[in-house]
């Protein structure tokens, strides 16, 4: 476990040394802030003391930002050859993957923590359902976990960061939107199945404050599959 | 035995990059892998360092197998990969600390290890810079420092001096020689003089196989076999014919650029130096030159890897 944390620490300091962290946090806050408070169907238009608007914006902005963070995680190491250096140190492939995953997740959690003033402000305006706030943030963190593990997997497939970014987006768009669209076009079990695969279904039920074990298992299994895929791609060099 | 390589093979598709290589390296030896580009030097090193698994075969590093005890093998090895990849956006000290932590150096020892490495690799003047700001020679030193930070028993250096200027090459060689006093070192190179200057033992690899193994002197002797002399004589008569009459001489060839100059090859295990001298005395000739032609390592290398 401590080896994982060493990798995480290095990646995190990399984010903050190289402006990635600041750009990401500022953009995320700027986007989510302006759509929550200033433009479109903002909190004041809705007239309810809830953070639903913010969740809607975060739902999409995380979808775009996370691949931008994860795209370099492994692709860059593949390109510069530092992956060889890392692998030949006394760490296992899974520790490397977990360490990188955690670093990205912590960065996203920091960005989400910066939106806590939204909650404080809204709670001054009226009665906020604390359960749905906790559920909402919890679902955003799990959602980020999914896209991070998908992004890491995409990054492990290539040496090119742009390719990794686009691949992560194109895998992600299925969970973000396409399964939802397919599901609503079908009826019966197939329809239910695709609805279940769509991220939106699970995020919505959780941000109502209902944390169902099925939703949690859904997110955790996507994370697990993504991480396993990444580890397999890293170990590919050992294939005979 | 520090390293035992046992019938190691690596196959890429149909091509065998490393083909059934076996050798043993004693503790404290400095061994040079020599070979043309694409001979399988780097691939062998990558397998020893657990970067890639061999198709067949096994390697034991200080008794630990690369197949089953990878983690403990990695801990025993300090590795400098080819082209010296480094995290360019990290400061030197942070990078060394990261390497030490990952290699399991205990927290209390880390600061003294870092200070020691900075001192030994001559990084003191640059230690606060990011690695990306360093010149190639200094980056190479950082690469060496990260390889040695956990005081490994075995050091594996893949082309440690490529791209350095002559002064830096001399310094790095000296560093490697110093290290070789206490550690087992494997280094690869296609520069012959470098291997000759730093290594106790040379393994010449070609097309995935070991074609020669020994110290630079033994390799040279093996290749040389018969004595070869360059002589120049001043005197009257048919010198070439007289030379051929000598018992120990096998072949004589005139050297065009030199007046009465010849290169003389002796018969196996015989030396013709004395006979030539005696011949000159009995004919009252002057011997102007007699030099032994030493086979250079270059020739050995070229013969073996052609």
- Is B49 touching A (CB cutoff 8 A)? yes
Given a cut of 70, is residue B294 above it in pLDDT? no
In the listed set B191, B214, B237, which residue is the last one of a domain according to the structure? B214
- Is B16 touching A (CB cutoff 8 A)? no
Candidates A18, A89, A159: best to mutate against B (most CBs of B within 10 A) is: A89
Residue with tokens 């995380």: A62
Residues 6+ apart with CB under 8 A from A28: A58, A61, A62, A65, A111, A114
Q: Are residues B176 and B99 in the same domain?
A: yes
Distance CA B38, CA B40 (A): 6
A→B interface, C-beta within 8 Å: 3, 6-7, 10, 13-14, 17-18, 80-82, 84-85, 87-92, 237-238, 240
CATH value at residue B42: 3.40.50.300
- Partners of A7 on chain B (C-beta within 8 Å) are 102
Q: How many CB atoms lie within 10 A of CB A29?
A: 16
Question: Does residue B132 sit within a domain?
Answer: yes
Q: Are residues B192 and B165 in the same domain?
A: yes
Between positions 168 and 207 of B, the ones with CB within 8 A of A are: none
State the nearest Cα–Cα gap between A7 and chain B, in angstroms: 8
Provide the ipTM. Answer: 0.86
- Side-chain-facing half-sphere of A92: CA atoms under 13 Å: 12
For residues A85-110, give the mean pLDDT: 94
User: What's phi and psi for A50, nearest 5 deg?
Assistant: -140, 160
Q: Are residues B172 and B257 in the same domain?
A: no
Question: Does residue B219 sit within a domain?
Answer: no
Q: What is the DSSP string of B31-48?
A: EEEE--TTSSHHHHHHHH
Q: Are residues B158 and B275 in the same domain?
A: no
Question: Does residue B299 sit within a domain?
Answer: no
Beta strands B30-34 and B201-206, pairing class: parallel
State the nearest Cα–Cα gap between B66 and chain A, in angstroms: 11
What is the three-state SS of A86-143?
HHCCCCCHHHHHHHHHHHHHHHHHHHHHCCHHHHHHHHHHCCCCHHHHHHHHHHHHHH
Q: Please give the pLDDT value at position A67.
A: 94
Question: Does residue B50 sit within a domain?
Answer: yes
Instruction: Determine whether the interchain pair B146/A18 forms a contact, defined as Cβ–Cβ distance below 8 Å.
Output: no
Q: Which two tokens stand for residue B247?
A: 């018992």
Q: Are residues B33 and B131 in the same domain?
A: yes
Spell out where chain A has E strands.
Answer: none
Instruction: Determine whether the interchain pair B98/A10 forms a contact, defined as Cβ–Cβ distance below 8 Å.
Output: yes
pLDDT digits (tens, 9 = 90+) for B4-27: 999 899 988 888 889 889 999 988
Q: Please give the pLDDT value at position A150.
A: 95
State the nearest Cα–Cα gap between A17 and chain B, in angstroms: 8
Contact call for residues B33 and B187 (beta carbons, < 8 A): yes
Q: Give the residue numbers spanning the domain of B275.
A: 226-294
Q: Are residues B128 and B205 in the same domain?
A: yes
- Partners of A6 on chain B (C-beta within 8 Å) are 98, 101-102
pLDDT digits (tens, 9 = 90+) for B37-46: 888 888 999 9
pLDDT digits (tens, 9 = 90+) for B153-169: 999 999 888 777 888 88
B110 has which bridge partners?
A: none
Q: Please give the pLDDT value at position B224.
A: 64
Mean pLDDT, chain B, rounded, equals: 85
Q: Are residues B53 and B157 in the same domain?
A: yes
Identity of the residue in A17, A89, A90 whose CB atom sits nearest the CB atom of B89: A17
Identity of the residue in B50, B87, B102 whose CB atom sits nearest the CB atom of A6: B102
- Partners of A94 on chain B (C-beta within 8 Å) are none
Identity of the residue in A7, A17, A89 whose CB atom sits nearest the CB atom of B103: A89
Q: Are residues B136 and B207 in the same domain?
A: yes
Q: Please give the pLDDT value at position A140.
A: 92
Distance CA B147, CA B142 (A): 9
Distance CA A183, CA A187 (A): 8
Instruction: Determine whether the interchain pair B79/A88 forms a contact, defined as Cβ–Cβ distance below 8 Å.
Output: yes
In the listed set B166, B188, B214, which residue is the last one of a domain according to the structure? B214
Q: Are residues B145 and B241 in the same domain?
A: no
Q: For a pLDDT cut of 90, what percent of chain A falls above it?
A: 51
Q: Please give the pLDDT value at position B124.
A: 86
Residue with tokens 């080819």: B82
Buried b (16+ CB within 10 A) or exposed e, B154-167: bbbbbbbbbebeee
Number of domains in chain B: 2
Q: Are residues B207 and B254 in the same domain?
A: no
Mean pLDDT, chain A, rounded, equals: 89
């Amino acid at each position: 476990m401590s080896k994982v944390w060493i990798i995480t620490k290095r990646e995190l300091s990399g984010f903050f040394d190289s402006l990635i962290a600041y750009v990401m946090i500022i953009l995320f806050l700027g986007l989510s802030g302006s759509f929550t408070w200033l433009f479109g169907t903002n909190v004041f238009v809705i007239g309810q003391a809830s953070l639903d608007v913010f969740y809607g914006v975060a739902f999409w902005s995380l979808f775009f930002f996370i691949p931008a963070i994860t795209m370099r995680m492994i692709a860059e190491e593949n390109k510069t050859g530092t992956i060889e250096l890392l692998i030949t140190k006394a760490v296992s492939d899974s520790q490397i993957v977990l360490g990188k995953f955690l670093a990205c997740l912590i960065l996203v959690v920091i960005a989400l923590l910066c939106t806590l003033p939204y909650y404080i402000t809204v709670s001054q305006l009226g009665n906020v359902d604390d359960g749905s706030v906790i559920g909402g943030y919890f679902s955003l963190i799990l959602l980020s976990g999914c896209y991070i593990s998908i992004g890491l997997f995409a990054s492990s497939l290539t040496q090119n960061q742009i390719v990794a970014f686009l691949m992560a987006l194109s895998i992600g768009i299925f969970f973000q939107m396409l399964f939802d669209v397919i599901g609503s076009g079908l009826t019966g079990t197939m329809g239910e199945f695709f609805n279940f695969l769509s991220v939106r279904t699970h995020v919505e039920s959780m941000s109502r404050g209902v944390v169902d074990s099925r939703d949690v298992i859904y997110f955790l299994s996507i994370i697990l599959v993504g991480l396993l895929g990444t580890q397999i791609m890293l170990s590919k060099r050992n294939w005979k | 035995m520090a390293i035992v390589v046992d019938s190691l093979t690596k196959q890429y598709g149909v091509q065998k990059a490393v083909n059934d290589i076996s050798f043993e390296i004693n503790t404290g030896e400095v061994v040079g892998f020599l070979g043309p580009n694409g001979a399988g030097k780097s691939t062998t090193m990558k397998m020893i360092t657990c970067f890639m698994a061999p198709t067949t075969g096994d390697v034991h590093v200080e008794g630990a197998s690369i197949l089953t005890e990878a983690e403990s093998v990695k801990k025993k090895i300090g590795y400098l990969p080819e082209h010296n990849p480094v995290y360019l956006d990290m400061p030197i000290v942070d990078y060394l600390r990261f390497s030490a932590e990952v290699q399991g150096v205990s927290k209390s020892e880390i600061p003294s290890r870092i200070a020691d490495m900075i001192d030994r690799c001559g990084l003191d003047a640059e230690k606060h810079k990011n690695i990306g700001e360093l010149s190639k020679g200094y980056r190479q030193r950082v690469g060496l420092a990260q390889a040695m930070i956990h005081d490994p028993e075995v050091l594996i250096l893949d082309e440690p001096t490529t791209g350095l200027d002559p002064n830096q090459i001399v310094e790095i060689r000296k560093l490697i020689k110093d290290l070789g006093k206490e550690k087992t070192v494997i280094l690869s190179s296609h520069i012959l003089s470098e291997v000759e200057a730093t290594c106790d033992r040379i393994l010449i690899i070609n097309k995935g196989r070991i074609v020669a193994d020994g110290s630079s002197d033994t390799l040279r002797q093996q290749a040389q076999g018969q004595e070869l002399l360059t002589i120049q004589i001043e005197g009257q008569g048919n010198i070439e014919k007289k030379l051929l009459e000598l018992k120990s001489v096998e072949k004589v060839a005139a050297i065009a650029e030199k007046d009465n100059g010849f290169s003389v090859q002796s018969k196996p295990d015989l030396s013709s130096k004395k006979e030539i001298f005696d011949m000159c005395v009995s004919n009252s000739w002057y011997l102007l030159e007699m030099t032994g032609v030493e086979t250079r390592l270059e020739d050995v290398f070229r013969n073996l890897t052609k």
